Structure 1
Amino acid sequence: MGILTTRRGFLAGGTGLVLALTLPVGRGRAQMTVTGPFAPNAFVRIGTDDLVTVTIKHIEMGQGPYTGLATLVAEELDADWAQMRAEAAPADDTLYANLAFGAQGTGGSTAIANSFMQMRKAGAAARAMLVAAAAQEWDVPASEITVKAGVIAHSGSGRSSGFGALANAAATQPVPEDPPVKAQADFALIGTDRPKLDTVSKSNGTAQFTMDVYRDGMLTVLVAHPPKFGATLAGVDDSAALAVKGVRMVRPIPSGVAVYATNTYAALKGRDALVLDWDDSAAETRGTEDMFAAFAEAAAQGGQTVEEEGDLAPLDAAATVLSAEYRFPYLAHAPMEPLDAVIETRGGKAEMWFGSQFPSFDRLAVAEALGIAPPDVSINVLLAGGSFGRRAQGSAHLAVEAAEVAKAAGRDGTFKLVWTREDDLRGGYYRPMTVHRLRAGLDADGKIVGWENVVANQSILAGTPMEGMLQGGPDNTSFEGSTGLPYRFAARRIGWAAMESPVSVLWWRSVGHTHTAYAVETFLDEVLEAAGQDPVQGRLDLLAAESTRERAVIEEAARMAGWQGRRRDGKGYGIAYAKSFGSYVAQVAEVEDRSGIPHVTRVWCAIDCGIAVNPNVIRAQMEGGIGYGLGTALHSRITLAPGGGIEQSNFHDYRMLRINEMPAVEVSIIASDQDPTGVGEPGVPPIAPAMANAWRALTGQKQYQLPFLGGAMA
């Protein structure tokens, strides 16, 4: 793998000091050059008004990159937090690539991890140039100048200045090739709680989301999609739709039939008035139960081996053999803001405004759909009201649909594509339906002599433009978390059966870990109980000596909960552990039986995510992940009726967690000197198995199929 090298440049202009920074993959020494006036490839801009604006290459959808990445810059710049600002980067793959992907995009809980040193170096270089400018202007040694909380000072002469007064002069200074960054012991902002930079605008209504975008002459567009996955349009009668006041036109597009109107209400009424004929010959017509049966049969056949260690022969001859089959439904992401996008075409170019999570893919796909060059497509990345993976579309299907809408209009113009909640829940790109088939064997002493887990589900990457990432091998995102376990078993085998269906699937918050953690951790809990072992001590005993980070979070979660065993005072207690996206998380759940329904009253969560850049953001992400994972485990499912139609349509039948169901959550962040790892997703995987283990401890009931409550109103 090549060494990441940098090219950094300060851009001089009337607005102060701007730092441009790119990190192409290659070998060689970092080089910096002054590249001219302000350009959109800047990460750091210091205005003459003392404000520091950080251009953020990762979409802000509630997970905190505006605050986190600005913190990294502010730390090395020695800025005052009150002077920090953040703005979204435009689509520009060459300048704003995610260093974990090699393309511009947000996902896999990589925002802080891939930017950690990149943004710190940007701040450190800006600081060095400000100091050099001050030293020159004051005629004092740079080594005698200090910077603290946004003030540049020289104690000997009594001179001091804010950043703004020196910004233009700093832009003329030689650029340090590789500015040093602080030691962890010297951090002043990293590791402390700071107000989030986007809180005020989201509170007072000035924050701009896609639905807030209105352009002169804009038409609102809704698309009628096929009611079954894989169906295609056979015919349309649009006469009644065109008679609806406000409807301007109706056009077939590859994904369905688009209705263009002067407002959302007219577009809705026009779409309702369409008479549509669909061809189901290539559609998914199986119901959920038939699909589960097919997936279970494939899992029973063993699948292809994706991990194997030791000899499994003793498993069948073990003193005790346990087995279980787990079933997980399709799940929608259901972010509070459904999909939407604004596109404007003029003179052979296109400009877009939307919450683009993968601008690289979206830009290329739109260019291809419109038949124009990628540089002629510009994307303004807006705030997004959640995603949980939904906007991270390898197929760029939303951006392509917007482009097809603009193309089908037959003229230049501005079009706002809107998906309703019903469109979102019935629109596919779900967490894959999955079946796990597990077996474990215990010898007479209670030692686990064999462990087998076969996973059957659809590949997320196969058949998409990202299929090349598989390099002909299995799709790790389908079974991640079932492999690479820290537990020492005498022998293990993990298998995967690749299933096919026209139902579209996508990564969903924590991707494969969302189901593998449940299957692994609940089944392991049963195995430990059969062996007469405590759930906490049993897990610790299975860890290797070098598994120090795993051990630390398990022990910390147990300590926080005052662990005394599976039951006490009429309540059940369960623990679960999962490592995902580089972070180690253990959770203990306390559960009560309320008229036969599990109610989680408290959750204790321990996380090791390396250096904690913004502890409050980490706590918030753990709390949010726990609520999200708990709600789906209790209530959520997408099911197909016999014949293939989706049965859910809105929150009345795709149930989410309610506020009175949210447990009290306590989060402990393990101190670390390791580089930061993910926090957006790792809070999700352990909560469902922790709850299930507590419920089984309390009632003896085992839950092999989610959700617990079948999605019914409770």
Structure 2
Amino acid sequence: MTRIPDPAGFRPDRRSFLTGSLALVVAASLPLGSRMARAAAAGPFAPNAFIRISEDGRIVLIMRDVEMGQGIWTGASMLMAEELDVGLDQVEPDFAPPDDKLYANPLLGQQATGGSTSIRADWEGLRKPAAIARRALVEAAAREWKVAPADCTVERGVVRHAASGRSASYGSLVALAATSPLPQDAPLKDRKDWKLIGTSQKRVDTRHKVDGGATYGIDVKLPGMKIALLARCPVLGGKLVSVDEASALKVKGAHAVLKLEDAVAVVGDHYWAAKQGLDALAAKWDLGPNARLTQADIVRGHEEASKGEGVVARQEGDPDAAIAGAAKKLSAVYQLPFLAHATMEPANCTVHVTPDGVEVWCGTQVPTRAQAAAAEATGQPVEKVRLHNHLIGGGFGRRLEWEYVGIAAAFAKQVDYPLKVVWSREEDIQHDRFRPYYYDRLSAGLDADGRITGWTHKVTGSSVMARWAPPGMRENGIDPDAVECAEETPYDLGPVRVSWVRHEPPGVVTAWWRGVGPAHNVFVVESFIDELAHAAGKDPVAFRRGLLEKNPRARAALDLAAKEAGWGTPLPANTGRGIMVQHAFGSFLAVVCEAEMSGSNIQLKRLVAAMDCGQAVNPDSVRAQIEGGLVFGLTAALYGEITLDEGRVEQTNFDTYQILRMNEVPPIEVHLVESSESPGGLGETGTAAAFPAIANAVFAASGKRLRKLPLNLDKASSG
């Protein structure tokens, strides 16, 4: 049985690696493999995975990537188990400690889980060290038996020599293997010899999530621990003025009132005592410079900024001249709102500050940044901060932020007991770091035969990259995330110009949100492609096929989705099909959405997806990821919007920041394209695809074009 071990478990160091007295640890590294890695390589590149095999036979995979529901612990364990020739049930995944030198994701240049990069980074980054470990163990057995390694076989971690009848478990070979030099390399298995990769496997973490054994950050319990509930200034940039501390402490079970410059917390024996104390606190705030900020101000700022020329990300030919001479010209403005992450598990962090150091318990996608935040808040050196990472109840980019760890540590510094700081749902939504607001202008021309003659796309929005990873910005000032899937589309568009205007709105901090740049740009590009198909008088599938002659993988995904969805077959009245195709996160995806209109109400009837993600490691996980991503994206497309008034976020909980209900989710079919290509990303692909699929379906059903999210038929454009 696979278990979820204590995150304070194995911590490899150089001495234990060299002596091998307890375990054989194998590390392997790969060169930086992407533009993002080269640009963001502010920190050193280090081995990206570790394997520990104990003398008792325990096999531990030290996971750089955090498990937040995406199934990465299962996929990574499958990759390691495949090359190590052990069963998936023999592998125990464990959290890696914060260490950019040892555990940096080679595609991100630092220890982080995000960008749908985990399996892409692990494809060779885990298989290669596992193959080397297997070879080392087999060679150790062969030396002991004085036989050729090639004459030995392995099954479920047992090395056998058929001719002599000898066998030895991996655990019994650890000491021998650790005292010999590691092989410099080892061949990976041929695809025909795979036993795990490409098969559907049950999740290694499911049992403990069902029986309650899995521990999330919010589940942490420590001796003497107390609970703090916080309130932050409702307007970004404001400060705390005063509180009614006496009234708060009259609440039974309330113990202390803790203050920061822009936040206050009440400490209680339990959550309810802390909440009642906070309600009685009557905090007063200096709302600061953003007190009069409105949503109209923000939209107007983006609109004005979008009139600037911007920085050119891609220029081929003279699209302006091509459009000017076109038989038909189209222009459009698309807008996407701020979005909250609204994870099932709200922000939380437990911190214990002692004279000897700091201990932190939380779920984070960026362990080293979380550790550094705690160190800065408490004034302790980083090496005295011990971080215990946990399973995450939904990340979606929220746990790529680390400010909540610093806030919790700053409060915990004021007491001498372990303090769990919890964000209420209202605090979590209203003080989230939001997906940027985008304002895009597009123009294109069509010739007399309905072919695209030129294309321009100007993106206007804030830059997450500039704040989060400044080295990732290009020398010309372009944020590569802001133009991803706009700069390069699957299509042959002729003369093209894609540009970006950076505009930082006041009153909010913007951050990564599931799907990042593609979730914005795929909606805009695929919606405008649909507009052009309509203007050309062509079927949307046929129109796209004509633009994909140089992109066979995208075209194959498009054809498969259309076929499985029954594209072109009759539909009931007021019902339409919308289609989209994308190349994002290294994968190709096409989705058909069927939607029925009842007045201005949109009813989802069916979704059909065709995914080419290269080699699927765990096909069941692929389907689950696409399904989950589509539902997440449909939620945002129909309901997702964060707005501000008088500097305050207007949405507070799931009554005002609505989530797609179970009865609203349509049947979803996911069809996989058989492929031997290296794996692409999964976690964010479905989210990006959902927006244009449903918008194009609404147009097909109603004849109204929706260029602004969330979808509101009353504000749509006709024709």
Same-fold call, TM > 0.5?
yes
Match of 2:150 among 132, 143, 149: 143
Does the Cα contact within 8 Å between 1:292 and 1:327 map onto a contact in 2? no
For residues 317 and 656 of structure 2, what CA distance do their matches in structure 1 show?
Answer: 46
Unaligned segments of structure 2, at least 5 residues: 1-13, 34-46, 715-719
Match of 1:381 among 368, 384, 389: 389
Instruction: Tell me the residue number matched to 2:702.
Output: 699
Structure 2 residue 114 is the aligned partner of structure 1 residue 107: yes
For residues 211 and 157 of structure 1, what CA distance do their matches in structure 2 show?
Answer: 55
Structure 1 residue matching 2:400: 3-state secondary structure: coil
Match of 2:246 among 225, 231, 239: 239
Instruction: Tell me the residue number matched to 1:446.
Output: 450
For residues 687 and 58 of structure 2, what CA distance do their matches in structure 1 show?
Answer: 37
For residues 438 and 294 of structure 2, what CA distance do their matches in structure 1 show?
Answer: 15
Instruction: Tell me the residue number matched to 1:427.
Output: 431
Instruction: Tell me the residue number matched to 1:553.
Output: 557
Q: 1:256 to 1:23 in 2, by over 3 A?
A: same
**How many pairs were matched up?**
685
For residues 671 and 19 of structure 1, what CA distance do their matches in structure 2 show?
Answer: 35
For residues 253 and 30 of structure 2, what CA distance do their matches in structure 1 show?
Answer: 50
Q: 1:566 to 1:551 in 2, by over 3 A?
A: farther
> Aligned runs of 1:197-208 on 2, under 5 Å?
197-208=204-215
Does the Cα contact within 8 Å between 1:323 and 1:437 map onto a contact in 2? yes
Does the Cα contact within 8 Å between 1:76 and 1:127 map onto a contact in 2? yes
For residues 631 and 291 of structure 2, what CA distance do their matches in structure 1 show?
Answer: 32
> Aligned runs of 1:400-419 on 2, under 5 Å?
400-407=406-413, 409=414, 411-419=415-423
Deviation of the 1:527 alpha carbon: 0.7
Match of 1:680 among 683, 688, 695: 683
Q: Identical aligned pairs, as a percentage?
A: 40
Query: Which stretch of structure 1 is more off in the superposition, 511-520 or 302-311?
Result: 302-311
For residues 26 and 670 of structure 1, what CA distance do their matches in structure 2 show?
Answer: 28
For residues 468 and 417 of structure 2, what CA distance do their matches in structure 1 show?
Answer: 29
**Amino acid paired to 1:523:** F
For residues 711 and 21 of structure 2, what CA distance do their matches in structure 1 show?
Answer: 61
Does the Cα contact within 8 Å between 1:56 and 1:65 map onto a contact in 2? no
Q: 1:693 to 1:367 in 2, by over 3 A?
A: same
Instruction: Tell me the residue number matched to 2:362.
Output: 354
**Amino acid paired to 1:431:** R
Does the Cα contact within 8 Å between 1:567 and 1:697 map onto a contact in 2? no
Structure 2 residue 639 is the aligned partner of structure 1 residue 635: yes
Structure 1 residue matching 2:283: 3-state secondary structure: strand
Instruction: Tell me the residue number matched to 2:6.
Output: none
Deviations 1:200-246 (A, max 9, x none): 11111000111221111212122211111222223333222222222
Does the Cα contact within 8 Å between 1:19 and 1:42 map onto a contact in 2? no
Deviations 1:639-690 (A, max 9, x none): 112x222211111111111111112222222233332221111111112211
Instruction: Tell me the residue number matched to 1:314.
Output: 322
Deviations 1:541-579 (A, max 9, x none): 11252x222222112212222322795676311111122
Deviations 1:69-118 (A, max 9, x none): 11111010111222222111121222111112222111111111112212
For residues 110 and 267 of structure 2, what CA distance do their matches in structure 1 show?
Answer: 33
> Aligned runs of 1:626-665 on 2, under 5 Å?
626-641=630-645, 643-665=646-668
Does the Cα contact within 8 Å between 2:293 and 2:507 map onto a contact in 1? no
For residues 557 and 291 of structure 2, what CA distance do their matches in structure 1 show?
Answer: 43
Q: 1:573 to 1:262 in 2, by over 3 A?
A: same
Q: 1:388 to 1:419 in 2, by over 3 A?
A: same
Structure 2 residue 335 is the aligned partner of structure 1 residue 327: yes
Does the Cα contact within 8 Å between 2:49 and 2:126 map onto a contact in 1? no
Structure 2 residue matching 1:233: 3-state secondary structure: strand
Match of 1:53 among 52, 55, 60: 60
Match of 2:216 among 203, 209, 215: 209
Deviations 1:295-351 (A, max 9, x none): 223224443333222211232343322222222111111110011111112224111
> Aligned runs of 1:139-178 on 2, under 5 Å?
139-178=146-185
Instruction: Tell me the residue number matched to 2:377.
Output: 369
Structure 2 residue matching 1:477: 3-state secondary structure: coil
Structure 2 residue matching 1:352: 3-state secondary structure: strand
TM-score when scaled to structure 2?
Answer: 0.90
Structure 1 residue matching 2:306: 3-state secondary structure: helix
Instruction: Tell me the residue number matched to 1:3.
Output: none
Instruction: Tell me the residue number matched to 2:541.
Output: 536
Does the Cα contact within 8 Å between 1:221 and 1:418 map onto a contact in 2? yes
> Aligned runs of 1:339-350 on 2, under 5 Å?
339-350=347-358
Unaligned segments of structure 1, at least 5 residues: 1-6, 28-39
Does the Cα contact within 8 Å between 1:517 and 1:578 map onto a contact in 2? yes
For residues 569 and 83 of structure 1, what CA distance do their matches in structure 2 show?
Answer: 55
Structure 1 residue matching 2:105: 3-state secondary structure: coil
TM-score when scaled to structure 1?
Answer: 0.91
Does the Cα contact within 8 Å between 2:49 and 2:125 map onto a contact in 1? no
Query: Which stretch of structure 1 is more off in the superposition, 187-196 or 307-316?
Result: 307-316
Structure 2 residue 443 is the aligned partner of structure 1 residue 436: no
Structure 2 residue matching 1:282: 3-state secondary structure: helix
Instruction: Tell me the residue number matched to 1:522.
Output: 527
Structure 2 residue 495 is the aligned partner of structure 1 residue 487: no
Deviations 1:468-496 (A, max 9, x none): 43255122222322211132223222232
Does the Cα contact within 8 Å between 1:567 and 1:698 map onto a contact in 2? no
For residues 655 and 709 of structure 1, what CA distance do their matches in structure 2 show?
Answer: 14
For residues 708 and 117 of structure 2, what CA distance do their matches in structure 1 show?
Answer: 31
Deviation of the 1:710 alpha carbon: 9.2
Structure 2 residue matching 1:191: 3-state secondary structure: coil
Instruction: Tell me the residue number matched to 1:475.
Output: 479
Structure 2 residue 84 is the aligned partner of structure 1 residue 63: no
For residues 41 and 614 of structure 1, what CA distance do their matches in structure 2 show?
Answer: 21
For residues 281 and 524 of structure 2, what CA distance do their matches in structure 1 show?
Answer: 45
Structure 2 residue matching 1:257: 3-state secondary structure: strand
For residues 174 and 704 of structure 2, what CA distance do their matches in structure 1 show?
Answer: 66
Deviations 1:474-532 (A, max 9, x none): 22222322211132223222232222222111110011211211111111101111101
Query: Which stretch of structure 1 is more off in the superposition, 700-709 or 17-26?
Result: 17-26
For residues 451 and 236 of structure 2, what CA distance do their matches in structure 1 show?
Answer: 47
For residues 634 and 261 of structure 1, what CA distance do their matches in structure 2 show?
Answer: 39
Query: Which stretch of structure 1 is more off in the superposition, 75-84 or 167-176?
Result: 167-176
Instruction: Tell me the residue number matched to 2:287.
Output: 280
Match of 1:507 among 512, 522, 525: 512
**Amino acid paired to 1:554:** L
**Amino acid paired to 2:589:** V
Q: 1:211 to 1:580 in 2, by over 3 A?
A: same
Match of 1:598 among 602, 611, 614: 602
**Amino acid paired to 1:654:** Y
Instruction: Tell me the residue number matched to 1:35.
Output: none
Does the Cα contact within 8 Å between 1:57 and 1:89 map onto a contact in 2? yes
Deviations 1:440-472 (A, max 9, x none): 22222222222222222222133x353343255
Deviation of the 1:604 alpha carbon: 1.5
For residues 515 and 677 of structure 1, what CA distance do their matches in structure 2 show?
Answer: 19
Structure 2 residue 102 is the aligned partner of structure 1 residue 95: yes
Over aligned residues, Cα RMSD in angstroms?
A: 2.5
Structure 2 residue matching 1:53: 3-state secondary structure: strand
Structure 2 residue matching 1:244: 3-state secondary structure: coil
Instruction: Tell me the residue number matched to 1:83.
Output: 90
Q: 1:234 to 1:135 in 2, by over 3 A?
A: same
**Amino acid paired to 1:45:** R
Deviation of the 1:26 alpha carbon: 9.5
For residues 668 and 426 of structure 1, what CA distance do their matches in structure 2 show?
Answer: 38
Instruction: Tell me the residue number matched to 1:126.
Output: 133
Q: 1:388 to 1:214 in 2, by over 3 A?
A: same
Q: 1:180 to 1:10 in 2, by over 3 A?
A: farther
> Aligned runs of 1:4-23 on 2, under 5 Å?
17-21=23-27, 23=29
For residues 679 and 379 of structure 1, what CA distance do their matches in structure 2 show?
Answer: 28
